[in-house]
Structure 1
Amino acid sequence: MQLSEFIDFDAIKTALPAGNKRVLLQQAVQLAAQRLGLDPAPILASVIERERLGSTGFGQGVAIPHGKVEGLTRIYGLFVRLAEPIDYKAVDGDKVDLVFLLLSPPDAGAEHLKALAAISRVIRHAPTLEKMRGARSGDALVAVLLGADERDAA
């Protein structure tokens, strides 16, 4: 699976002013719910429930909050870069500034894992992370993410 199959490139935010983890999750979920035409409350509840199991701050300044959402018909991904890094309780203790929100239908087990794997391939590539942090516009971020898709497909 490639990022282009589930990331909403039209909703990328380049300098989201989150302030803290709770505000970040609320803002990202609100944006996703708006784009999907869904109620944000159950989405936020799902994402927060997953965070209770353990932080989705995967290290290197990246977090992948995710959850299963009733009423969702496809895997949906949203990418935001924060205006300032925040404490996310990441596994490596680093602050987070790059966030992939991943939402899946309740029965999308294998597809959910494939989407997580696609994100993981991107965030394990340090030059791509550097380009993501240096991109000055949404279009530039889209180009970096699509470039990562092409590199991973090769």
Structure 2
Amino acid sequence: MLLSDCLPLENVVVNLSASSKRELIGKLTDVAARKTGADAAAILKAITTREELGSTGVGNGVAMPHAAVAGLDASFCMFVRLPKPVEFEAVDDVPVDLVVLVLTPAISQGQNLNVLSCAARRLRDCNVLSAVRTARSAEEVFLVLTNEQVS
């Protein structure tokens, strides 16, 4: 699976501002609910329940919140770049400025693992991280994330 299989350009957001993890999750929830038509409260509950198990801040300024959401019809993936990093309780204690949100229907929980592993492969590459952080537009970010040749 390639990231381009699950991340459309319209789900790449640059310059989403948040001052805290809580605010960031709220904003991610609002965007996801608007784009999927799923219930915002169900999305928020699923994400916060998953975060209570342990932070999805994976290090190097990257967070990968993910959850299975009751009532969601199809998988949803979104990439967000923040202009200012926020504390996210990441494993390395580095504030987060890059976020991959993955939501899947409750009946297909294993599907989020494929998307997460695909995103993790791209974002563990220092060259990709640097290019995503310096890209000037959502289109440039999308090209970096989905072009498997860039590394």
The 5-angstrom pairing of residues 134-149 of structure 1 reads: 134-148=134-148
Segments of structure 1 that go 5 or more residues without pairing to the other structure are none
- C-alpha distance in 1, partners of 2:111/2:71? 16
1:64-143 equivalences under 5 Å are 64-143=64-143
Q: Offset of 1:151 from its aligned partner? A: 5.9
Q: Any conservation in 1 of the 2:132–2:141 contact (CA below 8 Å)?
A: yes
Say which SS state the counterpart of residue 107 (structure 1) adopts.
helix
Per the TM alignment, residue 132 of structure 1 is displaced from its structure 2 partner at its CA by 0.5
Which runs of at least 4 in structure 1 moved beyond 3 Å after TM superposition? none
TM-score (norm 1): 0.93
Kindly tell me the number of residue pairs found equivalent between the two proteins.
151
**Which runs of no fewer than 5 residues in structure 2 stay unpaired?**
none
Determine what percentage of the aligned residue pairs are the same residue. 38
Question: Which amino acid in structure 2 is aligned with residue 133 of structure 1?
Answer: R
CA contact (8 A) 2:87 2:95 kept: yes
Q: With structure 2 as the length reference, what TM-score do the two structures score?
A: 0.94
Question: Could you list the per-position Cα deviations for residues 12-59 of structure 1 after superposition, in whole angstroms to 9, with x for gaps in the alignment?
Answer: 211111111000000011001100112211101000000000000000
Are 2:68 and 2:109, in contact at CA under 8 Å, matched by a contact in 1? no
